[in-house]
């Protein structure tokens, strides 16, 4: 984002520190959000308008920031101490923001009943050191979208759920079978059009977890002997083998145009894919590399700035966003998983036999901050060093998909992560006097 635009955002942010006691009169809350899809933006605008029409204590002003610039703008505001009252945060970055004292703890601020109704995975995403700092309206889902008819024509078995996901060998066999009847042999879309960023961590860390590896040691945040372990290298070598079948698809249209039979991506493509394929669209679990088919979870959430002078009123607005009606409206707009159990249970798309049932199945086995035996959906590491972790791992995945040696790519990533931890003294904060 240009310096002039960034400066205007920062100048418009609130100042002052500390919660409001009761806010003597109506206050104006500033909210920053990333510029999502048109439907998502409209849903949020409608919810804000509802609040502004009915609340006698506050009004909310929304500032949309382009998604590609959003993280930079927020980080700049953290350094400057000029965050707005309410800030949208990407789930895996919560611990980094907490480490920088940017977010206010929400315990006792947001209605306890509203928090209790959230999916456990969302509570885990927003919790750092046993305190809640962020609450989400929706969860995410990950899998492989497929053309059922293309699979059947190629004689490829269609998994019915996570319990019978393809293993590595069957995935390879499926790709080969599909490629046999394809003009260029490129039958898999993995969203190379997204570039090198968080998508590559979100989309492919589940292969590590499925193999029994991880991104970092979750106690220390270091990666040596974890990300570069033999198990992790083997998982990424398998991904490298599959890269021979990947369509680069710079226009991001290969799946809807029928150029590929499989698309490895998240829930956000459901609407577009359903419109293109109709009843031929089927959602498959990610491959099982030995410890079950795993998935990522987490998404955008809301936090209250530690610099806001209106923290209680900001938290009241978050309660409005967490109502079942609000959660349903947003999840219908963006195709995501509703963030409360009650809203999820009421949505037939996620019920048994529904087109998105796999997502609900995954989230009923969420790991939380640790990877307990039997969990299927792992939280990306809740560490202040996550920005460096995801940057390094995403670069490694990109290298593997481009044909580089997985051992070398992961070794470089582990070294970069550990160098960041060392530069920041292990991200250990001194106790307050």
Q: What's the confidence (pLDDT) of residue 373?
A: 57
Q: What's the confidence (pLDDT) of residue 170?
A: 98
Tokens representing 139 are 């969860």
Domain with CATH 3.40.190.10 in the chain: 8-139+298-357, 142-296+385-425
According to CATH, what is the number of the domain 142-296+385-425?
3.40.190.10
Superfamily designation of domain 8-139+298-357: Periplasmic binding protein-like II (3.40.190.10)
Q: Tell me how far apart the alpha carbons of residues 109 and 95 are, in angstroms, rounded to a whole number.
A: 19
Length reported for the chain: 433
Question: Residue 206's closest CA among 349, 366, 335, 341?
Answer: 366
Rg (CA), the chain: 22
Q: What's the confidence (pLDDT) of residue 365?
A: 74
Decide: 382 and 132 in contact? Cβ < 8 Å: no
Question: Residue 295's closest CA among 354, 362, 351?
Answer: 362
Q: What's the confidence (pLDDT) of residue 161?
A: 87
pLDDT in tens, the chain (433 residues): 344 344 445 444 444 444 454 445 689 999 999 998 899 999 999 999 999 999 999 999 999 999 889 999 999 999 999 999 999 999 999 999 999 999 999 999 999 999 999 998 999 999 999 999 999 999 999 999 999 999 999 999 999 888 899 999 999 999 999 999 899 999 999 999 999 999 999 999 999 999 999 999 999 999 999 999 999 999 999 999 999 999 999 999 999 999 999 999 999 999 999 999 999 999 999 999 999 999 999 999 999 999 999 999 999 999 999 999 999 999 999 889 999 999 999 999 999 999 999 999 888 777 755 555 567 788 899 899 999 999 999 999 999 999 999 999 999 999 999 999 999 999 987 654 4
Q: What's the confidence (pLDDT) of residue 1?
A: 36
Q: What's the confidence (pLDDT) of residue 17?
A: 42
Q: Tell me how far apart the alpha carbons of residues 87 and 35 are, in angstroms, rounded to a whole number.
A: 13
**Cα–Cα distances in Å, from 200 out to 41, 52, 162, 203, 275?**
25, 38, 21, 5, 26
Q: What's the confidence (pLDDT) of residue 68?
A: 87
Q: Tell me how far apart the alpha carbons of residues 57 and 24 are, in angstroms, rounded to a whole number.
A: 9
Strand partners, 66: 35
Tokens representing 79 are 């350094």
Which parts of 118-227 are beta strand (E)? 127-128, 131-132, 138-139, 142-147, 188-189
Q: What's the confidence (pLDDT) of residue 36?
A: 85
């Amino acid at each position: 984002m240009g310096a002039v635009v960034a400066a205007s955002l920062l100048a418009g942010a609130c100042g002052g520190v500390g919660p409001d006691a009761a806010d003597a009169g109506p206050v104006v809350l500033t909210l920053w959000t990333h510029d999502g899809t048109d439907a998502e933006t409209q849903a949020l605008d409608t919810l804000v308008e509802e609040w502004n029409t009915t609340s006698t204590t506050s009004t909310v002003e929304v500032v949309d920031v382009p998604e590609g610039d959003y993280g930079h703008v927020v980080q700049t505001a953290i350094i400057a101490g000029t965050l707005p009252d309410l800030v949208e945060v990407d789930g895996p970055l919560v611990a980094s923001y907490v480490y920088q004292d940017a977010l206010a703890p929400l315990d006792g601020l947001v209605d306890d009943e509203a928090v209790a109704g959230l999916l456990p995975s969302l509570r885990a995403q927003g919790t750092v050191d046993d305190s809640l700092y962020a609450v989400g309206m929706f969860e995410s889902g990950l899998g492989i979208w497929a053309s059922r008819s293309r699979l059947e024509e190629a004689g490829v078995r269609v998994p019915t759920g996570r319990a019978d996901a393809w293993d590595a060998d069957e995935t390879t066999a499926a790709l080969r079978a599909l490629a046999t009847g394809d003009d260029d042999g490129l039958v898999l879309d993995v969203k190379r059009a997204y570039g090198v960023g968080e998508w590559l961590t979100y989309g492919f860390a589940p292969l590590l977890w499925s193999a029994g590896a991880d991104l970092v040691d979750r106690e220390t945040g270091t990666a040596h002997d974890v990300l570069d372990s033999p198990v992790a290298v083997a998982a990424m070598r398998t991904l490298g083998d599959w890269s021979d079948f990947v369509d680069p698809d710079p226009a991001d249209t290969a799946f809807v145009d029928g150029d590929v039979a499989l698309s490895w991506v998240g829930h956000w493509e459901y609407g577009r894919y359903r419109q293109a394929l109709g009843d031929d669209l089927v959602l498959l679990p990610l491959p099982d590399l030995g410890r079950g088919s795993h998935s990522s979870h987490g998404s955008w959430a809301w936090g209250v700035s530690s610099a806001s002078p209106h923290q209680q009123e900001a938290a009241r607005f978050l309660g409005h966003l967490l109502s079942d009606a609000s959660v349903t409206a947003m999840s219908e707009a963006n195709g995501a998983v509703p963030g409360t159990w009650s809203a999820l249970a009421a949505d037939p798309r996620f019920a048994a036999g529904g087109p998105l049932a796999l997502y609900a199945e995954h989230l009923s086995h969420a790991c939380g901050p640790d990877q307990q035996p039997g969990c299927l959906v792992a939280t990306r590491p809740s560490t202040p060093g996550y920005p460096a972790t995801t940057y390094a791992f995403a670069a490694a995945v990109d290298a593997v998909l481009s044909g580089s040696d997985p051992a070398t790519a992961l070794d470089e990533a582990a070294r970069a992560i550990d160098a960041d931890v060392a530069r920041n003294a292990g991200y250990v904060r001194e106790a307050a006097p």
